[in-house]
């Protein structure tokens, strides 16, 4: 059985993702002048992520300099200064930074490990069968207990509706990841099912994450 | 006691209003007002009622005298604060106090398609002897509503302007005059259908030839929003109003090169307001308004009933004047006008001097012609024309010659020729039918003997059975462009901006700017190209003949540093303005082209550009040839020219209207970025607008939209595909196929008066 508390502790001990930025193609690298370890980096911003993140370097190939910007917010850990002004191959690691996990990311990580995710078999619109749908709407998804092979969804594609049974361990529906009348890509989670004995533990950990997890700007 | 308190409260309100108008500026008279009121409040406790009344009367007189003194010291920016003040008169006050009765149409407070645009049917009661007349009028105007939130500060949305246009047309059907009241800081910059720019363009285009008298009264004339309802036979302006191409804050942000949320300091804003010549007196001197209506000291407020009376008298006088000036026989018209002007000088009460406002058809035509003539001569002094006198003289002769030639060839001769051709065609059709019926037994017999397939021509057979050939020369010149960009000489790679999305590989500049004509072969993104590329590759070789090249951009407002910047632009570009007008040919079909060059001050339009554009439209009209407006790029109206630039919106649109009404074909082609005034007038009014792929078309840029509406527009908001989906343009052209598309457009579109039809 998965020890969720241990998982949370593990994330707490290392509350970030180590990320590295690599050369997108071969070329001569020029790091941004104010780049130094400990610098706080920003990722793409704006309502449509239209403003690029912090400028990290320029890579020039065939007299065509292109900016390399930070893909996520975080803190700069190491810069490979020895590459400054050098010609590098595509995929060469240029720098490393730590991306501190946000509350949602931690929650997502825990739930991914704790829940059984039932994936959409193909791109379609999905609905719950009417009986379950009414129950979810009135009492919430956690009031629904599902068994292996139970007819749970209706898959609607090109106006053809096919019943779709649930396959997996039995438990309550902890989270619903699709919305009404929206197309869902194949292999995208539809629901997350939690074994009934683990439910209080999961709820407690999620609550702890929501209240205690420090957000870093 | 209550009366004294009320009077005291009014004084307090007057002082608070005066303080608002002068903002943070220190002013001795204002300080004195404050101290006198404070003294009165301290001393009044020890006064009896009679003394209080006397002291208050003194204080009121002192306030009136001080306000008069302060009024004389008002700067243009103070006037801007006056028109923006919530206590400023608004349209509803005018409807209540100027007209005898009114019905608001399509709105009840916030329950309206756009509460910032109010439409009303009103009437004014007048007398002649013992008879009374209720004269109907259509009222269209911006409503600021004394600061009501839902009025949006009088900033009309596109659908509000569409409503205004609809009721102008209703007024035209009902043959009643239109009174428009301009109380707007500018149009609300959203592209949602019908689109800010396109709707303003539609309004100006329609107003250019509206067959009823239009009188506009300007209080706050903010740029395109004002022009949407401001084109009129007579333009009146309130003495404390402003009429400008851009708000002083906007001008200061441009002048101070500010970005994002940075704010210009108050001194720079004040300086810009003064330099831009935005006041009523400035606009009267430049000729963009006809008359100033004097307001009370420090601006009209709802309790200034005398002001409403003088506004009513002015509206009556001017509407009468417009009607009289086009009704009846010419000598009678001028006599009536002269006598009324004389009597007006002697204090004639216009309410007792009834004049009919509905116009017979002949007078309607005269009215529209007069309106066009009025706008045609505006802003001529703002653009120096350095054409030598001999050339000007010969140009006049040439123009007369073309007009006569076109009239003879295309009106007189061609019409008769066409009639003959029609008769011949009809006879030929009948003869063919008759001949086929006679030959049909013989043909059937021949088919039986020889076989039908054998009788098919060899050439037809080849065409039907073999693959067709791509006519490279007609469409893309086989990649062998006559003009190749100088950037093609650089040995370097260029990245496509869509490489992240479409995975486009880097392109070698000689390929990209040479054979590919600046088009990414993977995703089709169009990199901006020089205007010369179009001159040489779109039109027939050696067919370009430039005219009006000596009309030069000037600095009519004598802006500091702008003169030198203009000289620099002229030196760098080799042009005297951002508009190049020329005659050219495409597959031997002649056309007149007006091109806005992005390299010259961002392709902005001022008095010179407007004048050249109008001359081009007139030339196309005289020669009966199509007229193409190719926008290499335009950032809008040139703000440094103030109202001299802004007035080009109605002027050029009217020229286009004359040309289209005369049966021409007006095509607009947008390239790179085209924004603001020109799109919201003479470009946006074309029924045939096309965009070169990857171009952006719109009213205001993303920054202005985000600042004004508080909502950041999504990426590619102004892209031509979006513009096409919104119905703003009619098609998207590939740059390499522009010659082919244009040639096809000349053959398939347009009015009756094109010589090659």
Mean pLDDT of B226-230: 96
**Residues of B in Cβ contact (< 8 Å) with A46:** 712
More confident residue, A191 or B415: A191
pLDDT tens digit sequence for B242-278: 999 998 888 888 887 777 667 778 888 899 999 999 9
pLDDT of residue B264: 77
pLDDT tens digit sequence for B45-71: 788 888 888 888 998 999 999 999 999
Does the structure show a pLDDT above 60 at B607?
yes
A86 and A113 within one domain: no
What residues have CB less than 8 Å from A77, skipping those under 6 apart?
A18, A37, A95, A96, A97, A98
Cα B582 versus chain centre, distance: 23
Boundary (domain end) residue, out of A69, A100, A131 = A100
In a domain, residue A162? The reply is yes
At A137, the pLDDT band (50, 70, 90 cuts) reads very high
Q: Which of A29-43, A154-168, B338-352, B692-706 has the lowest mean pLDDT?
A: B338-352
- Chain B: give the shortest CA distance to residue A69, in Å: 13
Mean pLDDT of A83-97: 96
pLDDT of residue A213: 81
| Main-chain dihedrals φ then ψ at residue B120, nearest 5 degrees | -150, 145
A96 and A162 within one domain: no
Boundary (domain end) residue, out of A100, A122, A151 = A100
CATH number at residue A77: 2.40.50.100
In a domain, residue A55? The reply is yes
DSSP state of B604: -
At A2, the pLDDT band (50, 70, 90 cuts) reads low
Angle at which helices B158-174 and B196-208 pack, to 10 degrees? 20
**Residues of B in Cβ contact (< 8 Å) with A58:** none
Does the structure show a pLDDT above 70 at B298?
yes
A36: its two tokens: 């130094």
Helix (H, G, I), strand (E, B) or coil at B497: coil
- Chain B: give the shortest CA distance to residue A190, in Å: 27
A115 and A86 within one domain: no
In a domain, residue A1? The reply is no
Boundary (domain end) residue, out of A100, A135, A168 = A100
At B327, the pLDDT band (50, 70, 90 cuts) reads confident
At B470, the pLDDT band (50, 70, 90 cuts) reads low
Q: Which of A76-85, A111-120, B85-94, B166-175 has the lowest mean pLDDT?
A: A111-120
In a domain, residue A173? The reply is yes
- Chain B: give the shortest CA distance to residue A64, in Å: 5
B583: its two tokens: 């005659």
At B76, the pLDDT band (50, 70, 90 cuts) reads very high
> Distance between CA B142 and CA B186 in Å, rounded?
10
- Chain A: give the shortest CA distance to residue B712, in Å: 7
Put simply, the answer to whether B714 touches A61 (Cβ < 8 Å) is no
> Distance between CA B717 and CA B697 in Å, rounded?
9
A63 and A149 within one domain: no
pLDDT of residue B455: 61
For residue A138, what are the domain limits?
104-212
Mean pLDDT of B445-450: 78
HEC string of chain A? Answer: CCCHHHHHHHHHHCCEEEEEEECCCCEEEEECCCCCCCCEECCCECCCCCECCCEEEEEEECCEEEEEECCCCEEEEEECHHHCCCEECCCCEEEEEEEECCHHHHHHHHHHHHCEEEECCCCEEEEECHHHHHHHHHHCHHHCEECCCCEEEEEEECCEEEEEECCCCCEEEEEECCCCCCEECCCCEEEEEECHHHHHHHHHHHHHHHHHCCCCC
Q: Which residue of B has its CA nearest to A48?
A: B714
Nearest to B395 by CA among B615, B666, B201, B723: B615
Put simply, the answer to whether A62 touches B712 (Cβ < 8 Å) is no
In a domain, residue A217? The reply is no
Query: What are the Cα distances from residue B534, in Å, to B584, B731, B739?
Result: 12, 18, 9
Taking a C-beta distance cutoff of 8 angstroms, is the pair B335, B317 a contact?
no
**Residues of A in Cβ contact (< 8 Å) with B490:** 63
Mean pLDDT of B288-292: 96
Taking a C-beta distance cutoff of 8 angstroms, is the pair B507, B493 a contact?
yes
A127: its two tokens: 């609905």
Nearest to B197 by CA among B705, B681, B643, B731: B681
pLDDT tens digit sequence for B127-155: 888 899 999 999 999 999 998 889 989 99
Does the structure show a pLDDT above 90 at B458?
no
A113 and A62 within one domain: no
In a domain, residue A2? The reply is no
A195 and A110 within one domain: yes
Mean pLDDT of B646-674: 96
Q: Is B106 left (phi over 0), alpha (psi -120 to 50) or beta?
A: left
pLDDT of residue B579: 96
At B475, the pLDDT band (50, 70, 90 cuts) reads low
Put simply, the answer to whether A63 touches B491 (Cβ < 8 Å) is yes
In a domain, residue A6? The reply is no
pLDDT tens digit sequence for B379-392: 988 888 888 899 88
**How many residues comprise chain A?**
217
pLDDT of residue B453: 58
A201 and A113 within one domain: yes
H/E stretch holding B748: helix B738-748
Q: Which residue of A has its CA nearest to B497?
A: A66
H/E stretch holding B564: helix B562-573
At B85, the pLDDT band (50, 70, 90 cuts) reads very high
Does the structure show a pLDDT above 90 at B494?
yes
> Distance between CA B280 and CA B103 in Å, rounded?
30
Strand partners, A157: A160
Q: What is the mean pLDDT of chain B?
A: 91
A121 and A165 within one domain: yes
- Percent of chain A with pLDDT strictly greater than 70: 98
Taking a C-beta distance cutoff of 8 angstroms, is the pair B525, B498 a contact?
yes
Does the structure show a pLDDT above 80 at B372?
yes
pLDDT of residue B739: 93
A74 and A163 within one domain: no
Helix (H, G, I), strand (E, B) or coil at B118: strand
pLDDT of residue B406: 86
A95 and A163 within one domain: no
- Chain B: give the shortest CA distance to residue A46, in Å: 9
**Residues of B in Cβ contact (< 8 Å) with A90:** none
- Percent of chain B with pLDDT strictly greater than 90: 67
In a domain, residue A10? The reply is no
A23: its two tokens: 């050369």
Q: How do beta strands B178-184 and B214-222 pair? A: parallel
Taking a C-beta distance cutoff of 8 angstroms, is the pair B659, B621 a contact?
yes
DSSP state of B260: T
pLDDT of residue B756: 67
Task: Determine the residue among A47, A51, A59, A65 to mutate to test chain B binding: the one whose Cβ has the most chain B Cβ atoms within 10 Å.
Answer: A47
pLDDT of residue B215: 97
ipTM for the assembly: 0.74
pLDDT tens digit sequence for A183-212: 999 999 999 999 888 888 888 888 888 887
pLDDT tens digit sequence for B337-359: 888 888 877 777 888 888 899 99
At B27, the pLDDT band (50, 70, 90 cuts) reads confident
Mean pLDDT of A147-155: 93
Alpha-carbon torsion (B344, B348, B351, B352), positive or negative: negative
A169 and A86 within one domain: no
**Contact residues, A window 2-61, toward B, CB-based 8 Å cutoff:** 46-48, 50, 61
Domain count within chain A: 2
The shortest CB-CB distance from B493 to any of A46, A47, A61 is to A61
pLDDT of residue B590: 93
A126 and A45 within one domain: no
């Amino acid at each position: 059985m998965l020890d969720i508390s241990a998982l949370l502790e593990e994330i707490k001990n290392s509350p970030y993702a180590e990320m590295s930025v690599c050369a997108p193609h071969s070329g001569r690298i020029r790091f941004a002048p104010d780049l130094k370890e400990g610098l706080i980096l920003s990722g793409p911003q704006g309502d449509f992520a239209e403003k690029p993140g912090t400028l990290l370097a320029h890579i020039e190939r065939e007299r065509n300099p292109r900016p390399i910007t930070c893909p996520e917010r975080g803190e700069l850990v190491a810069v490979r200064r020895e590459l400054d002004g050098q010609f590098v191959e595509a995929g060469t690691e240029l720098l490393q930074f730590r991306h501190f996990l946000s509350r949602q990311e931690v929650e997502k990580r825990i739930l991914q490990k704790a829940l059984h995710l039932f994936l959409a078999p193909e791109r379609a619109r999905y609905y719950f069968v009417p009986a379950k749908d009414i129950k979810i709407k009135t009492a919430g998804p956690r009031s629904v207990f599902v068994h292996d092979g139970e007819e749970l969804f209706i898959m609607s594609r090109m106006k053809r509706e096919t019943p779709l049974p649930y396959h997996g361990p039995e438990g309550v529906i902890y989270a619903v990841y699709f919305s009404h009348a929206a197309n869902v890509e194949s292999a995208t989670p539809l629901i997350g099912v939690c074994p009934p004995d683990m439910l209080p533990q999961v709820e407690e950990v999620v609550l702890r994450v929501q209240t205690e997890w420090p957000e870093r700007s | 006691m209550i009366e004294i308190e009320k009077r005291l409260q009014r004084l307090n309100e007057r002082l608070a209003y005066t303080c608002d108008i002068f903002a943070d500026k220190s002013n001795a008279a204002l300080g004195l007002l404050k101290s006198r009121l404070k003294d009165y409040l301290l001393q009044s406790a020890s006064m009896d009622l009679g003394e209080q009344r006397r002291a208050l009367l003194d204080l009121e007189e002192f306030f009136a005298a001080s306000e008069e003194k302060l009024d004389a010291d008002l700067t243009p920016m103070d006037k801007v604060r006056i028109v923006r003040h919530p206590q400023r008169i608004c349209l509803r006050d005018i409807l209540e106090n100027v007209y005898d009765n009114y019905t608001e149409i399509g709105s009840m407070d916030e329950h309206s398609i756009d509460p910032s645009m109010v439409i009303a049917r009103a009437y004014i009661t007048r007398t002649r002897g013992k008879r009374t007349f209720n004269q109907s009028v259509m009222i269209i105007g911006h409503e600021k509503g004394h600061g009501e939130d839902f009025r949006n500060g009088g900033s009309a949305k596109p659908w509000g302007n569409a409503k205004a246009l609809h009721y102008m047309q209703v007024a035209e059907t009902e043959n009643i005059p239109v009174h428009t009241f301009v109380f707007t800081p500018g149009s609300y910059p959203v592209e949602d259908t019908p689109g800010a720019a396109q709707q303003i363009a539609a309004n100006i285009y329609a107003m250019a030839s509206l067959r009823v008298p239009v009188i506009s009264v300007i209080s706050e004339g903010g740029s395109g929003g004002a022009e949407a309802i401001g084109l009129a036979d007579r333009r009146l302006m309130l003495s404390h109003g402003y009429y400008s191409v851009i708000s002083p804050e906007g001008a200061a942000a441009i002048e101070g090169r500010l970005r994002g949320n940075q704010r210009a300091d108050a001194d720079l804003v004040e300086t810009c307001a003064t330099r831009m010549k935005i006041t009523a007196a400035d606009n009267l001197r430049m000729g963009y308004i006809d008359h100033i209506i004097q307001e009370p000291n420090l601006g009209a407020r709802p309790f200034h009933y005398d002001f409403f009376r003088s506004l009513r008298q002015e509206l009556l006088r001017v509407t009468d004047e417009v009607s009289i000036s086009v009704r009846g026989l010419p000598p009678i018209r001028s006599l009536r006008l002269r006598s009324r002007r004389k009597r007006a000088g002697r204090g004639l009460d216009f309410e007792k001097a009834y004049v009919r406002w509905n116009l017979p058809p002949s007078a309607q035509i005269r009215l529209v012609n007069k309106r066009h003539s009025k706008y045609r001569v505006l802003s001529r002094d703002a653009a120096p024309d350095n054409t030598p006198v001999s050339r000007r003289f010969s140009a006049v002769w040439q123009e007369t010659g073309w007009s006569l030639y076109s009239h003879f060839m295309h009106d007189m001769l061609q019409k008769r020729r066409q009639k003959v051709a029609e008769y011949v065609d009809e006879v030929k059709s009948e003869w063919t039918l008759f001949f086929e019926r006679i030959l049909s037994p013989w043909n059937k017999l021949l088919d039986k003997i020889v076989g039908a397939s054998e009788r098919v021509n060899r050439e037809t057979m080849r065409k039907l059975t073999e693959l067709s050939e791509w006519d490279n020369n007609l469409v893309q010149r086989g990649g062998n462009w006559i003009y190749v960009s100088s950037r093609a000489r650089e040995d370097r790679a260029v990245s496509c901006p869509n490489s992240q999305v479409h995975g486009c590989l880097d392109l070698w500049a000689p390929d990209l700017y040479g054979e590919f004509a600046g088009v990414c072969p993977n995703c089709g993104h169009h990199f901006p190209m020089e205007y010369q590329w179009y001159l040489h590759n779109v039109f027939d070789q050696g067919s370009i003949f430039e005219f009006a090249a000596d009309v030069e951009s000037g600095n009519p407002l004598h802006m500091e540093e702008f003169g030198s910047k203009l000289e620099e632009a002229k030196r760098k570009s080799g042009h005297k303005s951002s508009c190049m007008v020329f005659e050219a040919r495409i597959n031997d079909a002649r056309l007149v082209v007006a091109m806005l060059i992005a390299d010259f001050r961002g392709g902005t339009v001022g008095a010179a550009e407007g004048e050249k554009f109008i001359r081009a439209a007139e030339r196309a009209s005289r020669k009966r040839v199509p007229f193409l407006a190719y926008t290499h790029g335009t950032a809008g109206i040139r703000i440094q020219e103030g109202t001299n630039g802004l007035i080009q919106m109605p002027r050029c649109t009217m020229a286009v209207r004359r040309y289209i009404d005369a049966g021409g074909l007006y095509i607009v082609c947008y390239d790179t970025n085209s924004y603001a005034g020109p799109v919201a007038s003479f470009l946006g009014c074309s029924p045939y607008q096309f965009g070169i792929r990857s171009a952006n078309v719109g009213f205001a840029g993303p920054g202005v939209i985000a600042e004004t509406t508080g909502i950041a527009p999504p990426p590619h908001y102004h892209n031509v595909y979006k513009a096409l989906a919104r119905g703003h343009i009619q098609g998207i052209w590939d740059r390499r196929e522009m010659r082919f598309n244009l040639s096809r457009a000349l053959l398939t579109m347009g009015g009756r008066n094109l010589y090659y039809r």
